[in-house]
Structures are given as C-alpha cells and as structure tokens.
Amino acid sequence: MTMTVRPAAVDAKELRAGISAKYEEVALTPEKGFHFHTGTPLAAMLEYDAAMVDWLPAGTVASFAGTGNPFSMGDLEPGETVLDIGCGAGMDTLIAAKQVGPDGQVVAVDMTAAMLGKARRGAGEAGLSNISFREGLAESLPADDATIDVVISNGVVNLCPDKIRTMKEVHRVLRPGGRFQIADIVVHKEVPQGAKDDIELWSG
Ligand SMILES: C[S@@+](CC[C@H](N)C(=O)[O-])C[C@H]1O[C@@H](n2cnc3c(N)ncnc32)[C@H](O)[C@@H]1O
C-alpha cells in the first residue's frame, strides 16, 4: 500500500496556539473534565502498573493526558539518556528519570509553558534532579545530534502538523542503535479534509 503524507493545511502557528491553550487548561485545572481521559483513571486504563504511578506527586498524575504506555515496549536501562517529546505534566518523564537512575538523564521537551512548569514542580517534589526541562517543538528538538539513547513520546505526534519533520528530528537526535518508544493515535483510513482543517478536533 502506498500512502502520501502531506503536512496539514492548517496554519501551524494557529494550530499550536489552540493546542497549547487546551493543554494549559489540563495543566492548571485538570479537575475541569475534558473530552479525552486524564489522570489516575487514564493511567489505569492504559495499564500502567500501580507501582509505577503510586510514588508520583498527585498533581503530576492528575494532568496525565497520554494515549498509551511507552514503557509497555520495555523498561529503560540505568544510565541511559532519554528524551520525552511533549512531556506534558511529566508523568512519563518522572517514571523515566527513576528508571535511568542518577547515572542517567532525561530531557523533557514541551511547547506549553504551563505543562513544562508543572513537570518541573513534580520533579522537584519527587526529589529527581536528573531531568533537564526545555521549552521547544517536536519539529525542531532542542537536543544535539546523536546524543539520545531512547526517545519516548505519549500522545503528541498526532498533534504535530508536520509528522515527517518530527520523525526526522527523532532520527537526528538518536544515537545509532537508539530506540523510539512511542504511544500515539493511528487511524486506518483517510481523515476527511474538513477534520484536518478543524483546530478544535486536533486539540481534542
Ligand atoms: C496529549 S498531551 C500528552 C502529554 C504527556 N506526554 C502525557 O502523556 O501526559 C500533549 C502534550 O504535547 C505538547 N505538544 C503538542 N504539540 C507539540 C509540539 N509540536 N511540540 C512540542 N510539544 C507539543 C502539548 O503541549 C501537551 O503538553
């Protein structure tokens, strides 16, 4: 089967502003309720072990908004360097930081300042100091070439208007033999143009 992947027709800046506004709400008022699942119920639904989640700060888990479980593809090794694309409130970031331990490092990237702030606070509360938080885009990752052992991402690539560029960035930052553990949304049929042009649907 051949598939042509084109960047979305929506204005990328406008789309990112809409997405950021939505996820700022998830960071600041997670109890509000959204048309997607969040928090502890979502983590259980996505089969995160209770032991993986129980030690995390409540605020970190409350704003979790992933679409799967990147650790279902395997745990991370002590000493590894990990980059979390679209870390959100940092649930996967903190789990990764614990798994790689003090000899490892996690780079947490997000474009929404409120999410990054919440992730940073969560790391402080959890006493983790092996995380560097960087505001940035999936399409131009703030990391040097071939410096990362494992890229993780949860529920973010579906929000990126240029998915090919995002994949090229993942390839650029990974060391040879590095791993990409991604959880995301896949559709098996063509998305109608009207839906592609609707920013509300993107951010939902
Ligand atoms: C669905 S939430 C998932 C957050 C986190 N991975 C989790 O599992 O809770 C999507 C996150 O990706 C961020 N995001 C969306 N598009 C992005 C992009 N192009 N570059 C960087 N971050 C992005 C949003 O700000 C938001 O925090």
Closest atom of ligand 1 to 20 CA is 25
The DSSP call for residue 67 is S
Beta carbon of 161 within 6 Å of any ligand 1 atom: no
Q: How far is CA 13 from CA 91, 151, 158, in A?
A: 26, 25, 16
User: Can you give the pLDDT of all 204 residues of the chain as single tens digits?
Assistant: 455 555 556 889 999 999 999 999 999 999 999 999 999 999 999 999 999 999 999 999 999 999 999 999 999 999 999 999 999 999 999 999 999 999 999 999 999 999 999 999 999 999 999 999 999 999 999 999 999 999 999 999 999 989 999 999 999 999 999 999 999 998 898 888 888 888 888 876
Residue nearest to atom 13 of ligand 1 (CA): 86
Please name each of the domains of the chain with its CATH number: 12-203 (3.40.50.150)
Beta carbon of 26 within 6 Å of any ligand 1 atom: no
Q: Determine the 3-state secondary structure of 89 from DSSP.
A: coil
Q: Tell me if 185 sits within 8 A of 158, measured CB to CB.
A: yes
Q: Which residue has the tokens 């970031």?
A: 93
Measured CA to CA, the distance from residue 53 to residue 201 in angstroms comes to 29
Closest atom of ligand 1 to 110 CA is 22
State the pTM of this model: 0.94
